[in-house]
């Protein structure tokens, strides 16, 4: 038997809107839900200290100190930008651009970072006479 060389290999189906609609209609509601869950649902991590959901790109909506600390620790560039705004224009400009709650939480975070920095310089935690944080 002779084979025909002009026959092309089996071609893949092209997905036209009509074909896609027919294929979609074959799916059950449960299958559609699983596909949505698999491809569209965003699963957010949680802050370990408080258990609240943490969205890495947005500032926290809650008034939780742990959530705000996690936000500022993750976003070093944001912290540098805030420091430059404070150095250049002062606290009033930061309140105008970000709001009073944001400013309050940043000031708490900065105070905590300052305390941690001092604790690293003096690991014994004892304020000895003559101890200087400056080497």
Mean pLDDT, to the nearest integer, of 29-39? 85
**Taking a C-beta distance cutoff of 8 angstroms, is the pair 65, 108 a contact?**
yes
Rounded Cα distance, 119 and 121, in Å: 5
**Highest-pLDDT range among 23-37, 50-64, 115-129:** 50-64
Task: Give the torsion through C-alpha atoms of 47, 73, 112, 119, to 10 deg.
Answer: 110
28: left (phi over 0), alpha (psi -120 to 50) or beta: beta
Q: Which two tokens stand for residue 33?
A: 């839900």
Average per-residue pLDDT in the chain?
Answer: 81
Backbone angles phi, psi at 55, to 5 degrees: -100, 120
Mean pLDDT, to the nearest integer, of 77-92? 93
Q: Which residue has the higher pLDDT, 6 or 79?
A: 79
pLDDT tens across 39-66, in order?
A: 888 888 898 989 999 888 888 988 899 9
pLDDT at 13: 59
Count of residues in the chain:
135
Q: Is the pLDDT confidence value at 5 over 70?
A: no
- Reported as a pLDDT band with limits 50, 70 and 90, residue 21 is confident
Rounded Cα distance, 105 and 57, in Å: 17
Q: Is the pLDDT confidence value at 4 over 60?
A: no
Please state the domain extents for the chain: 56-121
């Amino acid at each position: 038997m002779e084979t025909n060389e002009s026959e092309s290999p089996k071609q893949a189906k092209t997905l036209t809107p009509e074909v896609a609609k027919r294929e979609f209609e074959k799916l059950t509601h449960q299958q559609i839900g699983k596909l949505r869950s698999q491809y569209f649902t965003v699963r957010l991590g949680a802050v370990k200290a408080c258990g609240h959901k943490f969205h890495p790109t947005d500032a926290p909506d809650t008034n939780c100190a742990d959530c705000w600390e996690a936000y500022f620790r993750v976003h070093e560039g944001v912290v540098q930008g805030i420091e430059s705004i404070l150095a250049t224009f002062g606290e009033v400009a930061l309140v105008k651009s970000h709001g009073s709650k944001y400013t309050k939480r940043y000031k708490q975070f900065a105070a905590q970072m300052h305390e941690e920095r001092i604790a690293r310089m003096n690991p014994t935690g004892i304020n000895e006479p003559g101890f200087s944080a400056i080497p």
